[in-house]
């Protein structure tokens, strides 16, 4: 526990200026934005994050959900997870996003959590969250206790010998399938980063998780409009029925022509160091039959998505589970 | 005594908790709600190794922080004595070593120092800045105890089980090992102490299920006269056994209060609760069963090993129910403990029988499958006529009625025994399983008094405690019943060692134990009032024969008249110049006193339906029917709540819960509510609970027995049995996990 300064910013530029002098925007940042606080305060209590200064951004005018000209969405970074999930347009046009959010955390947490904060929620790796243990993400160079330890819930894709932490978010899996664009206001103005480029792989710098640099403020998330009649769903598998992170999850979107899948996009959660999407896997099912007839192609797609998986002792079951998860989600959505 | 059902006015009626309004309005004061003037905060420092020695403790930075009074450790903590040896419950601790006794660390999180400061924040900060250097050794937190071939101690034996098993044909016997991981009580209310010493008297506000034991242990460890120690536990945010015996946090808080002369508050963090406040141990059990081709059991061998702390010897008596549960000529039960670098295990809801019945009732299901028999039928033909373990009659046993009622409600006769053969309307595969439950029914000594005051108050006083189960309400019900007054006239005082000594809240024994004492106290108080009425000079009934008077609805009246025609007792007391009239009651214990004349237990049967969706490897409990034979239920509302709560806990035991000790570090690594997975609301289907109320008046006049633990016994086995029926996967290592079920061919 340590003392920190707190200020509240109601103006975009002011917020950016307040954090621009931070040493880093990644693990261990000395200045941090605080939104819902459901990730950050937790980690501060555990001494895993120890900022000197918090800039409260909940007063910023970024709490609107607007439809864009192509029928898509522009979601303010301060929009609460509950509001986003229950928005009528989201429910009717993007069931995958609504379902993903509602499958996560608890009602109380979703009421606090924001769109921007959710994008940046931290791994649930027990070694990361406990300063008594070695963790390259928390303390670069200290080692990874998880690889030979308790890693049932950790990643099998995108891992390195330095880190196997999984990205635990549900919302981000849906956003990955939706090819969301992240709008960032930074020291040098505004830029837009596709979500596929937003998260970085751990490699030998697991403490760096995104492309954000000091000052960067996520202001919006833009989701393009889906073709009329597009179907989507989110399937989350876990031990208990609610209030648990995914062991494996799938966000799937398809456009059907009769029984044929015209277009498909999907991403998976609970298995990767970031929300996992493989374009080649999607190619496999495009133009093929859906529903019960699609089993063979869905299995092939799942195998392709999981290609290169590096399962460890305790999480090897995720390979099979993830396959079933994707096949079932694709079968259901295309039936 | 034969079963008989007596008509009662308040006993047996679904009754709201009398302390409910206090709780929902936040007025009920739990231990950590106590704020005393001048109070200091203590925050312990837990070891970050599980095995080794402390080399040095550098507390300079911590001590220099503003508001910090001191950092206490082995070098400067005041005198702490050992607890005298004791076979009973009076001085029981599961961690007997006084805190900071030596420089050896034997489990992860063991307290090695404690910071004391003016605020919780300063103390927390200081604790985090204490730098401890360790000489660490590899901890041993390994499971798979049978692989080490430990020497087993025979706990109970009849006939020759080994021979019978060896001689049985392979088709009619099974041998399997079942394991269950450490399970943590982790009650919502964290373990904590507020201790206040005035130079003579130590007052301890404590999260305890046994104020008397706590007082004795603290007095002994602090070297104080037991008369000068008072323990208060007014409300408990549940205990489940985790708060039965004193833990090191309390010893430290009391020692610091004694030595610093200011009140101390010490509340464990959630993590510290996982580390230092007990758990059900990791257990391995080997079951060998043999039977005749018709299914009659010819032998039962039950061997069990639980892990225990390095210095303590907690034994999980898994064979407790095995002795009496079935008819079988050859039974051998033996046990061992495996010393590990873990904090001491302790009793957890249904200690012994709960893990024991998980193994034996799973094994019985496996035997039924092997013999091609219906599992209920197998139980019916092995129903004993007496307790064959002790060779005494059963006081009251209605296990087969439980099965019969349960099977009927569940629709068991529609079960197709073929694995994976049943489906529901949603196309999900169904699995149906059943298992039996058993738990002791005993009494421990209890005293109580009932005070009738001239201000019209009616108080029941008893030094037991309400651990969240509804004890306040039960005592009010008993007094109201006996005094023939409405429930809301009664005030109940519990949770204070200055009250007449009452039972500890363990073994589901409080209700059965307090009934005779409170009955007697109430009846005596009423009698004394009548005798005062008949003899006091100012009494309107002066000179009337006491036998012609009655006490009803708070009125003293002639039996020949209606109660309304009488005099309110408070008015009578005032007129006769009595401030208060007290009736006392007392009852002896039945527990632990050698071989009983009759075998007293409660019973139950669970029927569980699971759904299985192979496409997603998703398993859920879909339906539960539980029938309980636990005698007269005094408050069906609280009673149902106990059984339902047990079932939910059983779902956790079967499907989710498991403390994981990090193999290299020895730390319970999932020591928080996000990582220690238990059932949540969405996991819990409708629970159909039925009580068969065979009132056996052996233990008390109402024929009531305890119901706090029985509902958990057997539930995990019923679930495993249902899971096998759905998936064809027999899980013998709890909890049942997705990875186990992925191997299903269904
Ligand atoms: C017990 C528990 C269970 C949970 N279960 C799930 C689950 O099942 N599935 C799931 O998906 N999630 C789950 N969560 C995570 C939850 O969704 C996240 O904590 C939440 O979305 C974070 O949002 P926030 O606004 O509270 O973030 P904060 O804690 O306020 O911020 C998180 C991080 O993002 C930064 N940040 C916030 N906003 C911005 C911005 N606009 N620009 C730049 N940086 C910003 C902060 O500086 C901080 O570093 C769970 C959380 C808890 C505590």
Residue A311, CA atoms < 13 Å, CB-side half-sphere: 14
pLDDT in tens, B554-596: 999 999 999 999 999 999 999 999 999 999 999 999 988 788 9
CATH number at residue A294: 3.30.390.50
Phi-psi category of A243—alpha, beta or left, where left has phi over 0 and alpha has psi -120 to 50? left
For chain B, percent of residues with pLDDT exceeding 90:
97
* φ, ψ at B58 (rounded to 5°): -105, 110
The average confidence (pLDDT) of chain B is: 97
CA A330-A332-A335 angle, 5° bins: 100
Which CATH number applies to B443-587? 3.30.365.10
Helix runs in B382-434, H state only: 399-410
Q: Check CB contact under 8 Å for B615 and A324.
A: yes
Q: Is A9 in the pocket of ligand 1 (CB under 6 A)?
A: no
Which CATH number applies to B383-433+596-741? 3.30.365.10
Q: Check CB contact under 8 Å for B656 and A328.
A: no
For chain B, percent of residues with pLDDT exceeding 70:
99
Give the best residue of B738, B741, B746 to mutate against chain A (max A CB count within 10 A): B738
Tokens of A275: 């929300």
pLDDT in tens, A51-83: 999 999 999 999 999 999 999 999 999 999 999
Pocket test for ligand 1, best of A11, A49, A116 (most atoms within 8 A of CB): A116
* φ, ψ at B584 (rounded to 5°): -110, 150
What residue numbers bound the domain in which A15 lies?
5-55
- Give the C-alpha distances (Å, rounded to integers) separating B68 from B40, B60, B114, B578: 10, 11, 11, 53
pLDDT at B6: 66
Which residues lie closer than 8 Å to B361 by C-beta, 6 or more apart?
A: B435, B436, B714, B717, B718, B721
Q: Is B738 exposed, middle or buried (0-12, 13-18, 19+ CB in 10 A)?
A: buried
pLDDT in tens, B261-314: 999 999 999 999 999 999 999 999 999 999 999 999 999 999 999 999 999 999
| A326 falls within a domain | yes
Q: What is the DSSP letter of B190?
A: P
Instruction: Show which residues of B are catalytic.
Output: 709
Which residues lie closer than 8 Å to B469 by C-beta, 6 or more apart?
A: B505, B510, B638, B642, B708
3-class DSSP state of B292:
coil
Measured distance CA(A284)–CA(A330) in Å, rounded: 12
Question: Cis (ω within 30 of 0) for the bond into A305?
Answer: no
Q: Is A36 in the pocket of ligand 1 (CB under 6 A)?
A: yes
A202 CA → ligand 1 middle, Å: 20
- Give the C-alpha distances (Å, rounded to integers) separating B674 from A105, A118, B343, B442, B444: 10, 17, 21, 38, 38
Q: Is the dihedral of CA A14, A18, A21, A22 positive or negative?
A: negative
Judge contact between B568 and B436, C-beta under 8 A. no
Section B346-368 average pLDDT: 98
Measured distance CA(B616)–CA(B609) in Å, rounded: 18
Which residues lie closer than 8 Å to B408 by C-beta, 6 or more apart?
A: none
pLDDT in tens, B510-556: 999 999 999 999 999 999 999 999 999 999 999 999 999 999 999 99
Q: Is the dihedral of CA B363, B364, B367, B368 positive or negative?
A: negative
Residue B86 has pLDDT above 50, yes or no: yes
pLDDT at B594: 82
Give the best residue of B41, B675, B681 to mutate against chain A (max A CB count within 10 A): B675
Can you give the residue ranges of every domain in chain B? 33-138+185-276, 383-433+596-741, 443-587
Measured distance CA(A57)–CA(A120) in Å, rounded: 14
Among the partner residues A47, A240, A328, nearest to B677 by beta-carbon distance:
A240
Count of positions (residues) in chain A: 335
Per DSSP, the residues of A214-245 read: TT-EEEEEEEPPPPTT-EEEEEEE-SSSSSS-
Tokens 């859920």: give the residue. Answer: B620
Per DSSP, the residues of B659-718 read: B-B-TTT--BTT-STTTS----GGG---EEEEE-----TTSSTT-B---SSTTTTTHHHH
Q: Check CB contact under 8 Å for A2 and B125.
A: yes
Q: Check CB contact under 8 Å for A126 and B669.
A: yes
Measured distance CA(A311)–CA(A272) in Å, rounded: 11
Domain count, chain A: 2
Judge contact between B563 and B549, C-beta under 8 A. no
pLDDT at B381: 98
- Nearest chain A residue to B737 by CA distance is A239
Q: In what order do the strands lie in the sheet with A217-223?
A: A65-67, A73-76, A217-223, A181-186, A189-194
Tokens 């018709």: give the residue. Answer: B294
At residue B367 the predicted structure's pLDDT band, cuts being 50, 70 and 90, is very high
pLDDT at B100: 98
Judge contact between A77 and A61, C-beta under 8 A. no
A113 CA → ligand 1 middle, Å: 6
Measured distance CA(B705)–CA(B695) in Å, rounded: 9
- Give the C-alpha distances (Å, rounded to integers) separating A129 from A26, A49, A307, B141, B149: 15, 9, 29, 22, 37
pLDDT at B698: 87
Judge contact between B297 and B382, C-beta under 8 A. yes
CB count within 10 Å of CB B67 equals 15
**Residue pairs spanning A and B at CB distance below 8 A:** 76
Tokens 């029988």: give the residue. Answer: B353
Taking domain B33-138+185-276, whether its CATH number is 3.30.365.10 is answered by: yes
pLDDT in tens, A188-218: 999 999 999 999 999 999 999 999 999 999 9
Residues of B in contact with A327 (CB under 8 A): 615
* φ, ψ at B730 (rounded to 5°): -95, 110
| Packing angle, helices B471-483 and B510-535, rounded to 10 | 30
Which residues lie closer than 8 Å to B453 by C-beta, 6 or more apart?
A: B459, B570, B573, B579, B580
Q: Check CB contact under 8 Å for A132 and B48.
A: yes
Q: Which of B601, B690, B677 is nearest to B644 (CA)?
A: B690
pTM over 0.90: yes
* φ, ψ at A99 (rounded to 5°): -65, -40
CB count within 10 Å of CB B61 equals 12
Q: Check CB contact under 8 Å for A126 and B128.
A: no
| A127 falls within a domain | no
Nearest atom in ligand 1 to A38's CA: 26
Tokens 């002639």: give the residue. Answer: B558
| A16 falls within a domain | yes
pLDDT at B2: 42
Nearest CA to ligand 1 atom 1: B674
Section B639-657 average pLDDT: 98
Judge contact between B99 and B111, C-beta under 8 A. yes
pLDDT at B7: 77
| A143 falls within a domain | no
pLDDT at B1: 41
Residues of A in contact with B617 (CB under 8 A): 237, 321, 324
Measured distance CA(B660)–CA(B734) in Å, rounded: 12
Give the best residue of A105, A124, A126, A156 to mutate against chain B (max B CB count within 10 A): A126
Q: What is the DSSP letter of A49?
A: -
3-class DSSP state of B114:
strand
Judge contact between A82 and A110, C-beta under 8 A. yes
Say what the alpha-carbon torsion angle A147, A148, A153, A155 is, to the nearest 10 degrees. Answer: 20
pLDDT at B5: 56
pLDDT at A1: 62
Q: What is the DSSP letter of A4?
A: -
Section B98-125 average pLDDT: 97
Measured distance CA(B611)–CA(B429) in Å, rounded: 5
| A288 falls within a domain | yes
Q: Is A42 in the pocket of ligand 1 (CB under 6 A)?
A: yes
């Amino acid at each position: 526990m340590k003392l920190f300064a707190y200020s509240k910013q109601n103006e975009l530029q002011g917020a950016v200026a307040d954090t621009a002098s931070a040493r880093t925007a990644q693990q261990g940042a000395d200045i941090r934005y605080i939104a819902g606080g459901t990730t950050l305060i937790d980690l501060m209590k555990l001494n895993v994050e120890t900022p000197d200064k918090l800039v409260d951004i909940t007063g910023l005018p970024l709490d609107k959900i607007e439809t864009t000209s192509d029928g898509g969405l522009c979601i303010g970074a301060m929009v609460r997870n509950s509001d986003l999930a229950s928005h009528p347009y989201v429910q009717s046009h993007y069931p995958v996003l609504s379902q993903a959010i509602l499958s996560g955390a608890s009602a109380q947490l979703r009421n606090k959590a924001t769109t921007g904060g959710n994008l940046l929620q931290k791994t649930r790796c027990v070694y990361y969250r406990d300063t008594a243990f070695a963790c390259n993400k928390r303390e670069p160079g200290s080692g990874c206790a998880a690889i030979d330890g308790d890693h049932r819930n950790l990643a099998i894709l995108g891992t390195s010998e330095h880190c196997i932490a999984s990205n635990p978010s549900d919302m981000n899996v849906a956003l990955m399938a939706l090819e969301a664009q992240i709008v960032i206001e930074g020291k040098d103005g505004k830029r837009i980063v596709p979500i596929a480029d937003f998260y970085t792989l751990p490699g030998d710098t697991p403490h760096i998780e995104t492309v954000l640099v000091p000052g960067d403020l996520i202001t919006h998330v833009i989701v393009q409009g889906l073709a009329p009649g597009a179907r989507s769903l989110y399937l989350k598998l876990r031990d208990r029925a609610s209030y648990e992170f995914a062991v494996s999850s799938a966000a799937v979107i398809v456009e059907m022509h009769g029984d044929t899948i015209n277009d498909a996009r999907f991403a998976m959660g609970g298995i990767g160091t970031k929300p996992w999407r493989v374009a080649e896997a999607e190619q496999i099912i495009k133009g093929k039959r859906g529903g019960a007839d699609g089993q063979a192609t869905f299995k092939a797609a799942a195998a392709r998505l999981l290609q290169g998986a590096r399962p460890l002792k305790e999480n090897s079951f995720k390979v099979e589970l993830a396959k079933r998860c994707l096949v079932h989600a694709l079968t259901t959505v295309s039936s | 005594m034969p079963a008989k059902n007596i008509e009662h006015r308040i006993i047996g009626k679904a009754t709201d908790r009398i302390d409910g309004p206090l709780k929902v309005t936040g007025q009920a004061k739990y231990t950590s709600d106590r704020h005393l003037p001048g109070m200091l905060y203590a925050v312990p420092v837990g070891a970050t190794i599980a095995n080794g020695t402390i080399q040095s403790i550098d507390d300079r930075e911590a001590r220099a922080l503003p508001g910090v009074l001191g950092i206490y450790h082995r070098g400067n903590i005041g005198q702490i004595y050992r607890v005298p040896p004791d076979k009973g419950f009076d001085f029981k601790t599961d961690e007997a070593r006084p805190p900071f006794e030596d420089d050896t660390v034997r489990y992860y999180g063991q307290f090695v120092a404690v910071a004391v400061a003016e605020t919780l924040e300063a103390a927390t900060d200081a604790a985090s800045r204490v730098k401890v250097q360790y000489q660490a050794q590899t901890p041993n937190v390994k499971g798979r105890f049978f692989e080490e071939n430990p020497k087993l101690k025979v706990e109970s034996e009849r006939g020759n089980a080994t021979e019978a098993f060896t001689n049985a044909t392979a088709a009619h016997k099974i041998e399997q090992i079942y394991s269950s991981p450490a399970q943590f009580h982790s009650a919502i209310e964290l373990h904590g102490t507020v201790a206040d010493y005035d130079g003579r008297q130590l007052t301890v506000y404590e999260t305890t299920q046994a104020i008397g034991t706590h007082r004795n242990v603290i007095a002994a460890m602090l070297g104080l006269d037991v008369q000068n120690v008072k323990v208060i536990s007014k409300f408990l945010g549940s205990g489940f056994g985790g708060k039965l015996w004193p833990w090191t946090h309390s010893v430290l808080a009391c020692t610091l209060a004694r030595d610093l002369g200011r009140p101390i508050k010490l509340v464990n963090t959630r993590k510290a609760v996982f580390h230092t406040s007990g758990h059900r141990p990791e257990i391995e059990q080997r079951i060998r069963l043999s039977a005749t081709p018709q299914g009659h059991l010819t032998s039962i061998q039950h061997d069990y090993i639980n892990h225990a702390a390095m210095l303590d010897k907690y034994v999980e008596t898994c064979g407790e129910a095995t002795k009496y549960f079935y008819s079988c000529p050859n039974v051998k039960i033996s046990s061992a403990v495996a010393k590990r670098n873990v904090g001491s295990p302790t009793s957890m809801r249904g200690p012994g029988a709960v893990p024991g019945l998980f193994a034996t009732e799973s094994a019985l299901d496996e035997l039924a499958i092997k013999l091609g028999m219906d599992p209920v039928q197998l139980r019916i033909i092995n129903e004993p006529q007496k307790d064959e373990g002790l060779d005494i009659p059963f006081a009251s046993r209605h296990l087969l009625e439980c099965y019969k009622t349960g099977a009927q409600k569940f629709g068991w006769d529609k079960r197709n025994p073929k694995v994976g053969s049943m489906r529901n309307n949603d196309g999900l595969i169904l699995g149906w399983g059943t298992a039996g439950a058993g738990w002791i029914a005993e009494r421990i000594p209890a005293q109580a008094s009932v005070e009738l005051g001239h201000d019209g108050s009616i108080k029941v006083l008893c030094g037991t405690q309400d651990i969240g189960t509804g004890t306040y309400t039960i005592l009010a019900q008993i007094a109201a019943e006996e005094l023939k007054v409405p429930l809301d006239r009664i005030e109940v005082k519990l949770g204070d060692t200055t009250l007449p000594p009452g039972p500890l809240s363990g073994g589901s024994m409080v209700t059965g134990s307090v009934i005779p004492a409170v009955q007697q106290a109430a009846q005596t108080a009423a009698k004394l009032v009548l005798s005062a009425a008949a003899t006091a000079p100012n009494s309107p009934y002066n000179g009337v024969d006491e036998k012609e008077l009655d006490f009803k609805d708070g009125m003293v009246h002639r039996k020949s008249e209606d109660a309304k025609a009488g005099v309110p007792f408070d008015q009578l007391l005032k007129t006769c110049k009595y401030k208060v009239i007290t009736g006392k009651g007392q009852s002896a214990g039945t527990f632990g006193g050698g071989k009983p004349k009759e075998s007293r237990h409660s019973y139950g049967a669970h029927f569980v339906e699971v759904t299985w969706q192979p496409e997603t490897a998703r398993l859920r409990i879909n339906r539960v029917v539980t029938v309980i034979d636990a005698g007269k239920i005094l408050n069906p509302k609280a009673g149902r709540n106990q059984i339902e709560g047990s079932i939910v806990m059983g779902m956790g035991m079967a499907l989710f819960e498991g403390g994981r000790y990090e193999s290299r570090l020895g730390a319970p690594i999932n020591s928080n509510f996000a990582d220690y997975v238990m059932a949540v609301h969405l996991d819990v289907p409708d629970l159909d609970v039925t009580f068969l109320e065979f009132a056996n008046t052996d233990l008390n006049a109402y024929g009531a027995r305890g119901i706090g633990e029985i509902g958990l016994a057997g539930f995990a086995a019923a679930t495993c049995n249902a899971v096998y029926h759905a998936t064809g996967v027999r899980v013998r290592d709890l909890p049942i996990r997705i990875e186990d079920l992925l191997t299903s061919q269904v």
